[in-house]
Structure 1
Amino acid sequence: MSIWRSYPRSLKVLLLAMLVNSTGMAFLWPLHTIYITQGMGKTLSEAGFVMMLHSAAEIIGSFLGGYLYDRIRGKRTLLLAVLSSACFIFIISIGLSWPVYILMMILLGLGIGTIFPPIYALAGSIWKEGGRKSFNLIYLVLNFGVAIGTALGGIVAQFSFQYVFWVNGFTYLLFIFIVWRALDEPDPVYEAAQKKALDPRPKKEFRPLQSFYSLLILCLGFMFCWVTYIQWQTSISTYIHLLGFPLSSYSALWTINGLLILLGQPLLQWFMDRVKSPVKWQLLSGVIFFILTFALLSQNQSYGGFVTGMVIMTIGEILIFPAVPAIADRLAPLDRRGMYQGLVSGAANVGRTIGPLLGGLLFDGFGPLVLLYSCIFICGFALICFGTYQRLQYIQKEVSTVKVNK
């Protein structure tokens, strides 16, 4: 409890709003496909096409959210994004014809994608001295909300899909109320002074451009990680079913994932802080855990192997997913923080969009083993990106030093 009191008030408000938002979103996102196939009578391929359009709109929304943050600040961007998402959800809940439903799902993806860049940008600006802690807390609260929402969403859906939409819309309205009434956004002038006090070293003229290049390499690695991680929700679920394991066994894997994140993330982060591990090595360690997961699954078809694989993958997830937005915040100039976080969210959305398609093609065309080996290969690219994303800055610093000496 004393730790909670040490957090800035605005961070507590942001965490509460994020908990409400992630809980409401988790009510709905696992049930979209079921609603399309069972509630609207469409085929699975049609459902997949709509979800692909929805994910593509989230990618655009990520860039839009970053752009708006840099123009109109975070609080206004959040209110605009969440209010529009609430409107689209309530419109969907009344029952729509198929073409209008597709349009609303695209607009909903645009609104949802706009939410996350300002969330992470605000997390960095509200508590600069907290470093990675604010991003770790956002990640923890996000997964806690997902655990609650997915557990309750299925229960509510048994009565009516319309109730699921209403609950999701209500959580958006509650999110708006919390942000509007309680969230205090730092003034840009104060924020600049605070950042300078925490990092008083003079900045070179080259730094923004080189930081941007470093961010692009970092985001590319992040995208590769998501391409492989999303296989657990798509191709690997099919693989588990083909091996004869029931759906409840697959659901139990995600229960393990949620419990490990909630219980293990604070402990693992405490350990990383104690050993003062550089964030770069945290990323590299996370990718190695990803590689170990797919290597294990390629050699083991028992359910115990999948349980062990999920445990290993979750450790890698804890190391990577909160660290990337934290690095982006550190790299970002004050007037580009939204854009940097938009690129990070966009990279994740790109991975979530192309991952299921790539995994499905490999699984159907060559079998599960080729898919698993391909995931190891893709993780190798992530390893290269995370190992080299800082190198451009180091090289440019050396060049700059030479020029100054001359």
Structure 2
Amino acid sequence: MKSLKLRWLLIGNLISSTGTSFIWPLTTVYMHDYLGKSLALAGMVLFIESLIMIGGSYIGGYIYDQGHGRLWMLFSIMVSIVALLLLVFFNKWPAYPILLIVNGFAGAIANTIINALAASIKNHEASYVFNMMYFMANIGVVLGTLIVGFVVKLNIRYIFVVTLLLYIAFFVIALTKYVFENTRIEKGENPAKGKVSQKTATRSILIISGILLTYLMIQMGYAQWQSNLSVYMQSLGIGLNKYSYLWTVNGVIVVIGQPIISFLDKKYRINDFKKVYLGYVMFVAAFASLIFAKDYLHFMISMIIVTFGEVIAFPVIPAIVAKLSSNSERGKYQGFVSIAASIGHAVGPLLGGVIVEMFSYELLFETIVFLVLVFTIISLIITYFNLKK
């Protein structure tokens, strides 16, 4: 039987990430400037999409563990293709947000299944696989956000056309190259059957819970960069163009730094837990620096620290979860990784907005630092004592 080749998984990740990056940067602008809707309504649409994606992530993990990963992965990609095709012709209100949410739900199912599939690759270390997946996803973000600026000048409808073509290419690769070693749906077999008793060890569940709860808090803080920070910087007299440059720096550091970290990881076999907690500490430092940031240089330094924390920690999290979870529950726990990120992105901007409206930006940053620091310490203690066992 053919085995799954990592290169096809990476190419697929690059294509789908590039396609996704054509859509998400324009969502708020498109709804506000083209559809004439309020920023609050645009934010509500994104909040609902995040909640729907949480459900999609859970369903994707459940489906994979039941042995139906290939069928549902292809079906969910096809649903995204249909949604994007409809967006080409029906991109007004309310068709646009409805189709956007359908695409997000289908994408969450497919991404969770593909992450679980990545964890099944045997001829590479899990940390290397997820490092490379993360790297290719970020290359896709850089390409997508770079090209979208040129495409949107021609006709905003072309955004949906290009995304549709990329997803069709993604579907072809998934159909012909993605191999599910333990899935034989065609014969009516259920590979998960007989493995139900293979549960993830309790101590592993505790470690995963601690790491993912901290990850959720970090994502809540990270979401401030994508929402409330732009408003805060403008209130300090720092232009929107300078804010966008921060994301350029973020992308450059990720693209350059990720291969270096992958090389060092492969050569020196750095412990995954040391990497994830080093990344967590860097996030604490970055969020703490925002308390005192009043000029552009300080925001740039904070973004650099945040990005290094992201590059070090984020790819390791699904790798640790893959190592600690049992084979029969691999999909479920990879789904939890996606769910933690989605909850953070859903709650973060809303919580941040409430704290800023009622108190101040400084208290928002102090709250994020407190939450990330407390959960990092708790997670570190849980990991230390359960690994000793």
- Asked if Structure 1 and Structure 2 have the same fold, meaning a TM-score greater than 0.5 normalized by the shorter chain, the answer is yes
Aligned to 2:223: 230
Distance 2:139 2:306 in 1: 18
2:302 to 293, 309, 315: 309
Aligned with 1:44 (options 39, 52, 56):
39
2: CA distance, partners of 1:300 / 1:102: 36
Does the alignment pair 1:138 with 2:133? yes
Larger displacement relative to structure 2 (250-259 or 356-365): 356-365
Shift of 1:103: 3.0
**Of 251, 262, 266, which aligns to 1:258?**
251
TM-superposed deviation, 1:76 = 2.6
- Deviation (angstroms), 1:88: 1.2
Q: Cα distance 1:377–1:76, how it changes in 2: closer, same or farther (>3 A)?
A: same
Alpha-carbon RMSD = 2.2
Asked if 1:35 is matched to 2:44, the reply is no
Partner of 2:212: 219
After TM superposition, the runs of 4+ consecutive aligned structure 1 residues lying more than 6 A away are none
Give the letter for the 1:113 counterpart.
Answer: A
Measure, in 2, the Cα distance between the counterparts of 1:123 and 1:305: 38
Instruction: Show the 5 A alignment for 1:296-335.
Output: 296-335=289-328
Give the counterpart of 1:158 among 147, 153, 156.
Answer: 153
Question: 235, 242, 251: which one pairs with 1:242?
Answer: 235
1:282 and 1:300 map into 2 onto residues whose CA distance is 27
Identity of aligned residues (%): 31
What runs of 5+ residues in structure 2 fail to find an aligned partner?
A: 185-196
Write the letter of the residue equivalent to 1:115: A
Q: Aligned partners of 2:347 and 2:357: how far apart in 1?
A: 15
Residue identity opposite 1:43 in structure 2: S
Unaligned stretches of 5+ in structure 1? 1-7, 190-203, 398-406
For residue 106 of structure 1, give the secondary structure of its aligned residue in structure 2. Answer: helix
Aligned twin of 2:163:
168
| Counterpart residue identity of residue 323, structure 2 | R
State the shift of 1:331 in Å: 1.3
**Counterpart of 1:177?**
172
Displacement of 1:73: 4.2
Range with bigger deviation, 163-172 or 133-142 = 163-172
Please list, as runs of the form range in 1=range in 2, the aligned pairs for 1:112-127 lying within 5 A after superposition.
112-127=107-122
* Greater fraction of residues in helix: 1
CA deviations 1:330-351 (Å, max 9, x no partner) are: 1121111111100111111101
* 1:370 to 2:363 alignment: yes
CA distance in 2, matches of 1:118, 1:389: 28
TM superposition shift of 1:119:
1.8
Which position in structure 1 is the counterpart of 2:191?
A: none
Q: TM-score, normalised by structure 2?
A: 0.90
Distance 1:31 1:326 in 2: 31
Where does residue 3 of structure 1 map in the other structure?
none
- The residue number in structure 2 matching 1:81 is 76
Post-superposition offset of 1:152: 0.9
| Shift in CA distance, 385/12, structure 1 to aligned 2, threshold 3 Å | farther
**What's the secondary structure of 1:72's corresponding residue?**
coil
Shift in Å at residue 109 of structure 1? Answer: 2.0
> Is residue 282 from structure 1 mapped to residue 268 from structure 2 by the alignment?
no
User: For the structure 1 residues 77 and 10, does the alpha-carbon distance in structure 2 shift closer, same or farther, using more than 3 Å as the test?
Assistant: farther
CA distance in 2, matches of 1:300, 1:46: 30
